[in-house]
Amino acid sequence: MADENCHGWISAIETVRCVVDESHFTLHVLRCHNCGQLFIKVFTEFIDWHGGDDAQYWTVTPITADEATRLIAEGKDVDLQWVGSLGSGRRSLINDYPTGAPSRYAWRSGPIPLIRGG
């Protein structure tokens, strides 16, 4: 998009809380500085122990204030099945960076795929 409101969109996002912070799996609650929309970001990395080009995936999905409150309250013990269900009926921005291939961005709908990396 060429709209000036979209320029530098990453700098318009702040981390509200890191809910899960493991070596190869993280879950963050984010907020847009411009509009206040809350998001969940899930990151997973799969280590293959060959060459260091490990597969990485992340998903960013809009969430409600009540959902953010629950995520933060549950912390590292958050119900991952429930987190995955947050994608149902919503569009998510995904980044797919498979081993040995270029990174791709796309929109998807449906449950958030949640597999702990490692």
Q: What is the pLDDT along the chain (118 residues), one digit of tens a residue?
A: 333 444 445 568 899 999 999 888 899 999 998 899 999 999 988 776 666 667 888 899 999 999 999 999 999 999 999 999 999 999 999 888 877 788 889 999 999 888 766 5
Place of tokens 């490692």: 118
What CA–CA distances, in Å, run from 30 to 12, 55, 94, 103?
Answer: 10, 23, 15, 22
| CA pair distance 44, 35, nearest whole angstrom | 27
With b for 16 or more beta-carbon neighbours within 10 A and e for fewer, the 79-115 pattern comes to: ebeebbebbeeeebebebbeeeeeeeeeebeebbebe
